[in-house]
Structure 1
Amino acid sequence: MRRSFYEFLMTLRNSESVEPEAEFANNAFRDSSFPKHEESYQKLSEYLELNAGYLPSMTIFDEAYQKYQEIDKK
């Protein structure tokens, strides 16, 4: 069973890190509206563009999503 992007993103959490993906994960964890069961790039992207003021650049999401897809293929 494929895990959601949120479940993958939570593996990147690290409250001690200043890395962009870790900060994205930390902020997504605190975002009670984050679509936790979503896998679709399009739906996640739309949500983040409209609701995630904590994400300074969509490039961070793009790179994290790419890793999510690569890990899921293994």
Structure 2
Amino acid sequence: MAYRQSFYQFLMTQRDPDSREEIAQFANNAQFDSSFPKQEQDKNKLSEYLEENAGYLPTMTIFDDAWERYVEKMQY
């Protein structure tokens, strides 16, 4: 079975402290979330975690957009 990076690992590639892009800001903030489920690959579990614990995420639409980028990258 091929290795598939976790969503968190993908998200960390989106960090950019100088960017105003919402996904970059999400990634910058998630980096400091010590409870983030770093190995999780299930969208529903990640969504539930973020809804309950990620005060730094102003809207779940940002997560949805990041998830779409993640899925697209994992297809290659």
TM-score (norm 2): 0.96
What residue ranges of structure 1 are gaps of 5+ in the alignment? none
Q: 2:44 aligns with which of 35, 42, 46?
A: 42
- For the aligned residue pairs, the C-alpha RMSD in angstroms reads 0.4
Letter in 2 for 1:51: N
Count the aligned residue pairs: 74
Runs of 4+ in structure 1 deviating by more than 2 angstroms, as ranges, are none
What residue ranges of structure 2 are gaps of 5+ in the alignment? none
Relative to its length, the structure with more helix (as a share) is 1
Shift of 1:18: 1.1
SS in 2 for 1:30: coil
Q: How does 1:22-37 map to 2 (within 5 A)?
A: 22-37=24-39
